[in-house]
Amino acid sequence: MKWLAVAAVLLVAAVAEGADLAHRQQAVNRLLYRIHSPILSKFPELKQLSNSFDPRGNAGSCKDGGNAVNHLMDELDAGRLLEQHHWFSLFNTRQREEALMLVDVLLNCENFETFVGNAAFFRERMNEGEFVYAIYVAVSHSDFMQDVVLPPLYEVTPHMFTNSEVLDRAYTAKMTQTPGEFHMDFTGSKKNKEQRVAYFGEDIGMNSHHVHWHMDFPFWWHGDEIDRKGELFFWAHHQLTVRFDAERLSNYLPPVDELYWDRPIKEGFAPHTNYKYGGEFPTRPDNKNFEDVDGVARIRDMKEMESRIRDAIAHGYVDKSDGSHIDIDNNHGIDVLGAAIESSTSSVNPSYYGALHNQAHRVLGAQADPHGKFNMPPGVMEHFETATRDPSFFRLHKYMDNIFKEHKDKLPPYTAADLKYDNVEITGVDVDELSTFFEDFKFDLGNSLDTADNVKHVEVHALVPRLNHKPFGYNIHYKADHAETVTVRVYLTPKYDNNGVRLDMEEGRWNSILLDTFWVNVQAGEHDYHRDATQSNVAIPDRPAFQELIRLADEAVASGSELVLDHGHSCGHPQRLLLPKGNEKGLECWFTVFVTSGDDAAHDDLHSNDHGGNHGYCGIHGGQYPDKRPMGFPFDRRIPNAAVLLEQPNFHSHTVRVYHKEE
Ligand SMILES: [Cu+2]
């Protein structure tokens, strides 16, 4: 009797302990490990849990009383769920519904034990793609999983991030039990000019930023309202297109032209990528004319959505479904338009404004087989992981960006009073040498291979070239009247176009790259403030490798020590790509520092708390976007008279050059 009581106490302790970070991290690692194979018997507890956990029986531990879990179980019991070993696309309505059923189950779990029980159970019974998506979204949004670090997606589902040539060699390595590292080339050949910037569209860090952005701000989101989600949709994608154009500039390419529904899609794309299950990603030849896509949209529907949105911009208001109007000729308008164009569940009238962005992704993705004659799986445009590989991604986003600009450029320019901040004069800014280079990066392909308990493990890695920059920082010299918290925004703006024509501020402002936004306490008198590129609030460092996360969590669990991980956020532009690639002569850019009052801060701790250091493009989880001013301020409005900005002592801009050095 006494023994039993002791055992019970121990069990309770273990369960309570189960909530510590080491255990939660370990569980997430193991759930995602070798995702295309059943849970390996080297994880006996998890395997056991996947067999013994009773989702319906644990409905009492669900916040919704078990509605979500009973719904998913009904679908499972009726055999309606998508099979395993099948491709998954979030844009496929039924597949998304299934993935979201699991998200719903996981986000309704009252505690970690129920979360992991359900996860283990459904891992073995649901489609792997749906499962991975659900785990990533649920961990990103679940209160008790916030400190868990999600393994890099390129190591969980390598097929979505690397070429079929590399994976073929990995399969051979496994079959012959010969470890290997395989060099990944970017898609295409030198005959294709777009090849020069493929390093950007195919950068695995940028791809994972893009996926995570869409996981943090899902278009289907039904939970608590996310602050300025529509505006962030505009801003994050605007910055991607602007950055891509800057990369093109240093590679002697013109900026991306927008997409036109009634003209051929100029660039084709051969992805050289395979689904793990489902065959090859379809290839699209050059100069393909748009065709209606069966079951998705007709091209004239797309034009209709565009014209309704352009009408709203011209009118200065959008029509709600009840017939009333919302004025958009104000700071909030971009948020309304962003939601309508994507469209997200925040759209004020989806049946009228449609879903221009989401439908366009599907229409573009299906152009190789628009009528399903060849039973091709979805194209690269139909996955956030792979979309930016296709040059048409940037054409599409330039097209939408131009619609957003049409709205922004209709608003009145900022006045001197809007821009003024008397307290601080910037007397100079010293910027370290800016220089980029390519390096090789190694990542693990182990998860791409099938495995079983009796098959020996073989180390297989991909080696991928990627852009990086030399560490740099800058010194801001300032004179302040009195001590105060101030808002600082730092931009980099290319100075010339690809023909060498110098752009004035009005012509160039929309090409501005946000390098950082931060808050500091200035002191009265003359001082310097040093800022390092690594502190940037738009960029995040490399994610810890999957193997490293496994090692850290396993060691912490085994030794009973506390697991400390400080890589909270997966959304964020890669730190390596903070600067666009330079060139031999040095890509000339304006380096702009703009200081305004600390009143622009939406939180009062921003000078001491960077809230994860990724808020520039990704906001603050569960909170307000930190900068109250419109995203892109002060370059988001027309500047008919540059002097209005240049005369402000709190505005400073000077020329810098970004060099590129090959080893
Ligand atoms: Cu996107």
Q: What is the pLDDT of residues 520-540, one digit of tens each?
A: 999 999 999 999 999 999 999
**CA–CA distance, 290 with 367 (Å, rounded to integer):** 7
Cα 522 to middle of ligand 1, angstroms: 37
pLDDT at 19: 60
Cα 392 to middle of ligand 1, angstroms: 13
End-to-end CA distance of the chain: 72
* CA dist list (Å): 371 to 81, 292, 368, 374: 25, 8, 9, 8
pLDDT at 230: 97
Q: Name the residue type at position 218.
A: P
Cα 276 to middle of ligand 1, angstroms: 23
Which of 431, 381, 378 shows the shortest CA–CA distance to 656?
Answer: 431
For 162-191, what is the mean pLDDT?
90
Cα 410 to middle of ligand 1, angstroms: 25
**CA–CA distance, 277 with 342 (Å, rounded to integer):** 29
Sign of torsion over alpha carbons 193, 197, 199, 202: negative
Burial class from Cβ neighbours inside 10 Å (0-12, 13-18, 19+) for residue 62 reads buried
Look up residue 492 and give its two tokens: 């980099």
pLDDT at 12: 41
Cα 388 to middle of ligand 1, angstroms: 9
Cα 649 to middle of ligand 1, angstroms: 37
Q: What is the pLDDT of residues 104-156, one digit of tens each?
A: 999 999 999 999 999 999 999 999 999 999 999 999 999 999 999 999 999 99
Q: Lowest mean pLDDT of 341-350, 447-456, 505-514, name the range.
A: 447-456
Which residue in this structure is represented by tokens 């087989």?
A: 369
> CB of 561 within 8 A of CB of 608?
no
Cα 362 to middle of ligand 1, angstroms: 13
Q: Lowest mean pLDDT of 94-108, 182-196, 208-222, 288-302, name the range.
A: 182-196
Whether 239 shows a pLDDT value over 60: the answer reads yes
Q: What is the pLDDT of residues 603-654, one digit of tens each?
A: 999 999 999 899 999 999 999 999 999 999 999 999 999 999 999 999 999 9
Cα 30 to middle of ligand 1, angstroms: 29
> CB of 378 within 8 A of CB of 245?
no
Cα 350 to middle of ligand 1, angstroms: 19
pLDDT at 567: 76
Question: How high is the mean pLDDT of the chain?
Answer: 94
Cα 181 to middle of ligand 1, angstroms: 31
Sign of torsion over alpha carbons 358, 363, 368, 370: positive
Whether 8 shows a pLDDT value over 50: the answer reads no
pLDDT at 383: 96
Which residues face 517 on adjacent strands? 489
DSSP state of 421: -
Cα 76 to middle of ligand 1, angstroms: 31
Cα 205 to middle of ligand 1, angstroms: 14
For 564-590, what is the mean pLDDT?
93
Residues 6 or more apart whose CB falls under 8 angstroms from that of 527 comprise 477, 478, 480
**CA–CA distance, 609 with 388 (Å, rounded to integer):** 32
Q: What is the pLDDT of residues 46-101, one digit of tens each?
A: 999 999 999 999 999 999 999 999 999 999 999 999 999 999 999 999 999 999 99
Q: Name the residue type at position 586.
A: G
Whether 218 shows a pLDDT value over 90: the answer reads yes
Residue 10: band (very low, low, confident or very high) from pLDDT cuts 50, 70, 90:
very low
Cα 210 to middle of ligand 1, angstroms: 6
Cα 384 to middle of ligand 1, angstroms: 6
> CB of 651 within 8 A of CB of 419?
yes
Cα 121 to middle of ligand 1, angstroms: 31
Cα 237 to middle of ligand 1, angstroms: 6
∠ Cα 36 37 40 (to 5°): 140
Which residue in this structure is represented by tokens 């589902």?
A: 157
pLDDT at 223: 87
Cα 546 to middle of ligand 1, angstroms: 25
Which of 478, 510, 484, 519 shows the shortest CA–CA distance to 613?
Answer: 519
Cα 360 to middle of ligand 1, angstroms: 12
**CA–CA distance, 501 with 259 (Å, rounded to integer):** 24
Percent of the chain predicted with pLDDT > 90: 91
